[in-house]
Amino acid sequence: MQPLAPRITLSVGYQSGTRAVVAFLMLGVVLTITCGGLCGVTARSVLAGLLVAAPVMLFYGLLMRSILRAGGWLEGSRLTVVNVATRTVDLRAARSVSLRATGSVKRTPLLTVTTDARTVKLILRSGEGVLLPPGELVALAAALDTARCPGAAETAGWLRAVAAGPRTML
């Protein structure tokens, strides 16, 4: 039996201190909307307020869940990304790998890995906007070396270049 590859946690999503602040802010928004719906004088206005507030609360609840759960890790050649749902791909089975920049003010690299079963997207910045540390970029590049598909070698090379000098991204 082969030993399990160590889990390398990627610095994506918000760190724990920021998560708490975001959670309290989102909770405040939800409570404000709910209280606004409940401040009616009649039962009809309370019901109308709740009907309006329910979809908004659902949206904010899903958004808060996504923010609080966001994360990712590598285990050997398996990349797992957690947002609203958890998605895992084996980089050895990738059909394509691409890297593109998103955002107009602050360029944020977005790694997209597609297999026969699914597509996983990983933003290479933390929730606070900090680029992944060089060690994590190199680990991701090493994991991409196992992929034999279009875009994998170029992406791994770019990740190593950015790990060596982040100004390469510009």
pLDDT on residue 156: 95
What pTM, to 2 d.p., does this model score?
0.72
> Domain of 149: which CATH number?
2.30.29
Residue 31: its H or E element = helix 16-38
pLDDT mean over 57-80: 80
d(CA 62, CA 27): 12
pLDDT on residue 55: 80
Same domain flag for 94 and 146: yes
Residue 2 lies in a domain: no
Q: What is the pLDDT of residues 1-43, one digit of tens each?
A: 445 678 888 888 766 566 566 666 766 766 666 665 555 455 6
Residue 157 lies in a domain: yes
Residue 84 lies in a domain: yes
d(CA 157, CA 26): 39
d(CA 97, CA 143): 12
Written as six digits, the tokens of 73 are 């890790």
Q: How confident is the model at residue 93 (pLDDT cuts 50, 70, 90)?
A: very high
Average pLDDT, the chain: 81
φ, ψ for residue 76 (rounded to 5)?
Answer: 65, -120
Domain that residue 159 falls in: 7-11+71-169
Nearest to 119 by CA among 147, 146, 96, 142: 96
Same domain flag for 88 and 145: yes
